Chains A and B, each alone.
Chain A
Amino acid sequence: MLAPVGMAMALIVAAASIYSFSPRHVPPLQETRIPVDRMQLTTIERSKAGIVTAGEIGSILVSADEGRSWHQARLSQDRQALITRIVFADEIHGLALGHEGWILRTEDGGLNWQETHFTESNGEPLMSARRLPTGDWLAIGAFGQVLRSTDDGRSWSPDTLPDLSDWHLNDIASSADGRHWLIVGEAGTVLRSDDGGGNWEIVPPFYNGSLYGAAHLGGKRWVAYGMRGNVFTSADGGDSWQAARIPAPVSIYGHALLPGGELLLVGQGGMVLSSKDGGRHFDIANREGRASLTDIALARDGRWLLSSDGGLQVRTPSPAPRNTQDGATE
C-alpha cells in the first residue's frame, strides 16, 4: 500500500507548518538596569564599600569594582527626594543629605542607610554636613538652616550660628587636621571657624554671588568656588581673598584634591579645571559634553569618575597640555 508514505509526507509538511508558524522567538534585549549614566547624580565618594554615588529620587548606588557596575544601597525609608551630598567621616561612617530635610546614616560604608531625619511638611533641602573634631555633626542647607547631632548623626536638632541670615548655605569644609573650618553659601556668605568648629564668625563678603564649595589646601590656603567661573583664594586663612584666573565662565559645583597637591574643579559644560599652584591659575584639564558636573572621585587606576546631572561620566585624564588657547594639540 502506497498511502502510508503519502500520509507521512503530508503529516511532515503539516507538522513543519505548525512549527513554522508557532509563536516566534523574539531576540531578547538587555534587562532593565539602573541608568547610572543617564540619571541625576550630585555626589560621588569613596568608602570601605567602594565608590558611592547618589542623587535622583533618593537613589544611592554603590560600586565595588571602581565604577564599572553599580547596585542599589538599602535604605530604611524611600522618600523619593533628591540626595544632594554624601559625606563620610571615616571609612564606614557617613551621612546622605537630601531635599525635604532628609538625612540618612550609614555604618558600613554606604551599603545600608538608616533615616535619622526627615521633614514631613514644608521641608527644605539640606546641602552638606561634616563631623566636627568634637564628634558632633553639623548639617547645613537652604535658607540658612543648621542642624546639629550630638549622637553621631542618630538624632538632630536645629542649631544657629552667629550673624546668619536666611541665605542658602551650600557646603562646609575643613582643613585636614580639623582645626580650620569654612561654611560657604549664597550671596557671598562665608563663615569661618579656627577652633575646630566651636566658634564661628562671618567673613566680610568679597563676592556677591553664590559660593558652592571650598577646599583647604594646607597651611593657610583656602579656595572657595561658585557661580560663573568665580573662584577665590586666600593665603591667610580667609582674612583676604583674591579672584583666581579661570579660563571658562562656568559655575563650579565640586572639587577633588589629588595626592600630589593638584586641585581639580568640576562644573557646568562638562568642565574639569586644574590648578597646580594652589588655586592661583586654573587650566582646562578636560571638557566634554554639556552636562553639569557635580562631583569627582578618582578610581584606583587613575580614571576620573564624575557625577553629573546627566549621569555618571568616566574619563581618562589626558597627559595633554591644558591650555584653552592651545587646544588639544600642543
Chain B
Amino acid sequence: MSHAHTPSRTDAFVAVMARMLIRWRKPLGLFFMLLTLGLGYSALNTRLDPGFNKLIPLKHEYMAAFLEHSGTFSGANRILVSVQWKGEGDIYNADFLPVLRKVNDEIFFTPGVNRGSVRSIFTPNVRYIEVTEEGFNGDVVIPARFEATDEGLNQVRTNVAKSGVVGRLVANDLKSALVQADLLEVSPDTGEKLDYAEVARKLEAIRTQFADDRIDIQIVGFAKVMGDVMEGLFTVVMFFAIAFVITSLLLWLYSRSLKLTVLAIAVALLPVIWLLGILPLIGYGIDPMSVLVPFLIFSIGVSHAVQMTNAWKQDVLAGETAMEAAEGAFRKLAVPGIMALLANALGFLVIMVIDIPIVHELGLTACLGVALMIMTNKMFMPIILSHLHLERMALDQPVDNKEKHPMWWKVSALSEPRPALVTFVVMLALLATATWYSRQLQTGDIGSGVPELHADSRYNRDNDAIISNYSIGMDVLSVYVETENLEEACLNWEVMNAVERFDLRMRGVDGVQSVSTVASMAKLYAAGNNEANPRWAALQRTEAALRTGGRAANPENGLNSHGCKTIHLSVYLTDHQGPTLKHVVDEVRKFIAEDKTPNATFRLAGGNAGVAIATNEAVEKAEVQMLASIFASISLLCWLTFRSWRAVLCVIVPLMLVTIMCNALMALLGIGLKVATLPVIALGVGVGVDYGIYIYERLQHEMAERGYGLREAFYEAMRQRGTAAVFTAVTMSIGVGTWAFSALKFQADMGILLAFMFLVNVLGAIFLLPALACWLGVGRETPAGKARAPATTTASATADSHTSVPRTAEPAVAAQPLRS
C-alpha cells in the first residue's frame, strides 16, 4: 500500500518546487511582470459582445426551426411606442393628436426603422373600410385636410372605430395610441449591423421630448431591452469599484499591514488583467453574463492571497526570514491551494453542460481565469512575499500562536461527540426545511415582463401598461408550418384547414390568451368580402373561393412567407412562467402528434416563449447532469488529496446541505431556475469546497504530523486557517453581494445566490465538518493506520484526544472547560 508514502512523496515534490521557485525568483518575477504589462496592454481592446443568439440553446430542436424562420418573420424585432393621454376625455383632442403625429414622424425617421412597417393611425397603411349597399368604401383614418375641430375630431373617432385598430393601434379605453415599427437587422443602405444602443437612445430621446404632465410615453421592444441591458452593464463597473474598496478596507483591518493589503489586492487583480488581456486575443468579448467573471476571479484571488499572506505572516512572526517564510507558505499551501483552485475550475467547467453559448463562454472564461490564478497566486505571490518586509504595526501584533485563540477553541468543541450531536440536530432541522422548500423551485422566469430587468423597472412597467391597455400580448409562442409540393399553400384547403384546426384547438388551451394565424385572417377577409356577414367567415374548399380571403396571405402581415412556403402561427400566452410554457408546448405537441396533414409539417417553436421553453428544457436537462458531475469530480478530487473516504464525506456533506438550502432560498425568494441561476450552484459548490479543503488539509496534517487528537487538530486548523476562511467568505460575499443592486435582474439574482453560497459554505465547513469528522471516526482510525503515520512517536501519547492536555498550557487555555 502506498497510502503512507504518497503524501510524503507529494510533500517532497512540493518542497523541491518551493526551493526552485525561490531560487529562480528573479527571472521568474521579471517574466511575470513583462507578461502582465503585455496582457494589460491587450486588455485595452476588450469589447462588449452582447449577441441575441448567444442566449439561445442553439442545439435544441426548437431552436433549429426558430433560427431557420426567424429571419423571415421579423415581428420579433418590433418596437412599440405608446403615447398616453393623461388628461380629461379620450385621445381625440387638439392637444394629443399633434403630439402623436410628431412621435410618428420621429419614429419614421429613426435610423434602423423599416419605414414601410411604421403603423399608427397617422400612417397611410392604416385604413378604415366601410361596407355599404353599393360595395366597399375606404380611406386613410386621418383625412389629408384634418383640422382639430369638433367635426374633424369626430370624423377621426368614427374612422378609427371602423378601421378595426382599436385594441391594436388605439387602446381599448381610447386613452392612448401606438406607433409600431419593425427594425432592420442590417441597414440596406450601408450594410451595417443595427446599433441597438443607438436606437434605444433615440427612443429615450423621443420620450424626453414629448412626455409631460399630460402625456406619458411607453416604449417596449427588443431594441429597448438591449439598450436598457447595456446601460445596466455599465453600472456593474460601479459595483466593482465598491467591492474593491470594501475588500481593501477589510483586508487592511484583517492584516493591519498596508503592504500585505496592497499585495493581496494586486495579486488578486493580476489574473483579472491577464484574463481581460487574453480574451481579445482568442476572439472573445464580454457579455452581460461573463462580465461577472472578473468579479469572481478577483474575489477568489483575494481569498487565496489571504491564505498565502496569512501563512507567510505566521511564519515571519514566528521569526523566520521573508524568504524562508515564502518558501514555507508555498510548501504548506501548494497542495490545498491548487486542489481548491482545481475544484473552482471544475465548478466552472461543469456549467458548460448547459447547452447555451453565453453559459459556455462564462464557463470557459472563468476556467481560464482560475488557471491563470494558479500561476499568479501560487507562483508570483511567493516570489513577491520573499522580497517583502512587514511593517512594524503588523509585526507588533501579538504572536497569536503562543496562546489559545478563545473563540476557535470554543468552536473546536464541536468536534466532540455531544456538541456534534447538537450540530446534527440543527443540521437535520435545516435539511428538512430546506428540502421541503426546495421542492417548490420552478424552472424558468417567474413574474411578468422581460426577465432581464426587474419587475419594477421602467421597461417592465411600460410593458404592463401596454398589455393592459391594448389587446396585444408580449409573450408569443411561434409555431411554423412548413409546406411542400404546393404552389400556393394558402390556397390549399387541406393546409389552411389544418391551420384553422390548430387555431381553434389552441384557443381552448389554458395559458393561451389568443391565437393569430393566416387561417383566421383569411376567414375574416372572406366575411369582409360578403358584407362582413359572420356566416361567411369560413374557408371554402375551392381554390377560387379561397382566393376571396387570399389577401390575408400577404407576406407583409407576417403570418406567412411568399407562396406560404412557411406559415407562421402565433400563440399569445398569458405569461412566460415555466408551467405555462410547458403546458402550452405539451398541448401543441399533442396536436402535432394527432393531426397529420399531407404536405404540411408543424414545427415548434419560435417567439420569445419558444426561446424560453427551449432554454428551460436545456436548463432542466443540465441541472442533474451538472450537479452529478460537480459532486462526483469534487469527491474524486478530495479523495485524491486526502486518500480518505472520511475526508470526502466531511467536505462533501456540508456542500450538499448548502446546495439544497440554496434551492430552497431560490424558491423562497421567487427566483426561478434559469440560465443565470443554474451556474450559481456549480460556482458556489466549486468555490465553497475551498473552505472544506483548506480546513481539512490542516486537520489531517496536524493529526498526522503532530499526532494531535481531533479537537486539537481541528483547533489548530481553525487557528491557522479559520480566520482567513471566514474573512475570505465575508469579502467574497460582499464582492458578489453588491450585484444585488444591479439594474439587471439576472445579475441581482446571481449576486444574492452566490453571496449566500459563499457565506453559508464557510459555516458548513466550520460547524458541520468537525461534527462529521467526529462521528465518522476521523482520528480514530485503526491503530495500525496510526502506526504507519509519520508522526507516530508523538501520536501514541495522545491517542485519546478527549483527555489530552492542550499543547500550550497558557492560563487562557487552562480556563477553557475541558471534557474528560
Contacts and interface: CB of A to CB of B under 8 A. Distances in A.
Contacts of A56: 500, 504
Interface stretch (B313-321, B656-664, B792-800): B656-664
A290 B583 contact: no
Interface of A: 1-3, 5-7, 9-10, 12-14, 16-17, 19-21, 23-35, 38-40, 42, 56-57, 59, 80-82, 84-85, 99-100, 121-123, 125, 127, 168, 170, 208-210, 212, 227-228, 251, 253, 268, 290, 292, 294, 308-309
28 contacts: A3-B775, A6-B772, A9-B772, A9-B775, A10-B776, A13-B656, A16-B431, A17-B656, A17-B659, A19-B435, A19-B439, A20-B660, A26-B443, A29-B511, A31-B510, A32-B505, A35-B504, A38-B507, A38-B514, A100-B541, A121-B542, A125-B540, A210-B531, A251-B531, A253-B535, A292-B532, A294-B534, A294-B535
B133 interface: yes
Contact of A35 (B439, B508, B523, B772): B508
B431 A81 contact: no
A13 B627 contact: no
Contacts of A208: 133
A168 B533 CA distance: 12
A31 B586 CA distance: 11
Given A123-B541, A290-B166, A82 B653 contact: no
Contacts of A40: 523, 534, 537
Contacts of A34: 508
A28 B578 CA distance: 11
B133 A82 contact: no
Contact of A3 (B132, B417, B583, B777): B777
Interface residues of B, number: 67
A38 to B, nearest CB: 4
Contacts of B777: 1-3, 6
Contacts of B657: 13
A207 B197 CA distance: 61
Nearest to A308: B534
B12 interface: no
Interface in B396-450: 417, 424, 427-428, 431-432, 434-435, 438-439, 441-443
Contact of A81 (B166, B434, B514, B538): B538
Interface of B: 131-133, 166-167, 417, 424, 427-428, 431-432, 434-435, 438-439, 441-443, 497, 500-501, 504-505, 507-511, 514, 523, 527, 530-538, 540-542, 578-580, 582-583, 587, 620, 623-624, 627, 646, 649, 653, 656-657, 659-660, 663, 772, 774-777, 780
Contacts of B442: 24, 26
A212 B535 CA distance: 10
Given A82-B537, A100-B540, A57 B776 contact: no
B497 A32 contact: no
A227 B538 contact: no
B435 A82 contact: no
A59 B534 CA distance: 15
Nearest to A212: B533
Given A19-B435, A80-B501, A100-B541, A9 B653 contact: yes
Which 4 pairs show the lowest CB-CB distances between chains A and B? Answer: A6-B776, A6-B775, A82-B538, A209-B133
Contacts of B772: 6, 9-10
B133 A35 contact: no
B365 to A, nearest CB: 26
A21 B578 CA distance: 17
A3 B535 contact: no
Contacts of A17: 656, 659-660
Contact of A32 (B432, B533, B587): B587
